[in-house]
Amino acid sequence: MKLRILTSADLPAIAAVHVAAFPRAAISHLGREAARRYYHALSTGPHATAGLGAFEGDRLSGFSFVGVRHIAEGHFVRSHPFFLVRCLVANPRLLMKSFIWSRIGSGLRMLFHRPPPAAAAAAAAGHPDPGRSYGIQYLAVDPECQGRGVGKLLLRASEDFARQEGCDEIHLSVYLDNPKGIGLYEKMGWEKCVEDGGWRGLMSKRLPTVTASPG
């Protein structure tokens, strides 16, 4: 299995893996074209985000995207508002789902939100904001490729990427009903972020600085 940075040529495969791995996600309900555009926005927007892909031969087995999440998602919504409206008009049954309305509200807030100048400048320069941590926005494994160590490989690569970008912490969100994923993260040193007396799926990990050995 080989690991490499993803390019625009990989977008159709990324979209296919996303829909297969996250059938409940809002983007998946909107279709592969929405997923393709979403990951294109993540890859090209004014933020420090990298796509890492695990390949078996020419087949994409899984991927992770690492970066500053709130800037990336806002860029996607601002870049494709009319496309997203068309998707909802073409699939009116989606409007009957409560989580879709939640995402619509979130999308509207992102549409009119602009990051502070210092944060935008740091992101455009490819550097994380001082004091901020990077997030694993998505870590997806093709269901047909599970059990082959793909997730562990991508998780380690994502941590290494964040460390190289100068971050001392990394975070992610996981579905609460995904015990296999939660178990993997905990085994690899991730901790649950409990707030207000409960846990909502946010996890984080401190990234110790690697120092070169003398001599």
**Domain segments of the chain as ranges:** 2-206
- Spell out the residues 6+ positions from residue 44 whose beta carbon is closer than 8 angstroms to its own: 8
Average pLDDT over residues 32-59: 86
130-158 pLDDT per residue, tens: 445 688 988 999 999 999 999 999 999 99
Contact status, residue 120 vs residue 78, Cβ threshold 8 Å: no
Average pLDDT over residues 175-189: 90
Q: How confident is the model at residue 195 (pLDDT cuts 50, 70, 90)?
A: confident
CATH of 2-206, one of 3.30.1330.10, 3.30.70.360, 1.10.630.10, 3.40.630.30: 3.40.630.30
Dig out the tokens for 155 from the structure.
Answer: 């998780």
Q: What is the DSSP letter of 108?
A: H
The pLDDT value given to residue 126? 43
The pLDDT value given to residue 52? 95
Give CB contacts under 8 A, 24+ apart, made by 78-84. Answer: 78/110, 78/111, 79/37, 79/41, 79/45, 80/37, 80/41, 81/111, 83/34, 83/37, 84/30, 84/34
Q: Which of the given ranges, 23-27, 104-108, 131-135, has the highest pLDDT on average?
A: 23-27
The pLDDT value given to residue 144? 94
Q: How confident is the model at residue 28 (pLDDT cuts 50, 70, 90)?
A: confident
Q: In this model, does residue 124 exceed pLDDT 50? A: no
53-95 pLDDT per residue, tens: 999 999 999 999 988 755 556 677 777 778 877 877 787 777 6
What is the Cα–Cα distance from 167 to 199, expressed in whole angstroms? 24
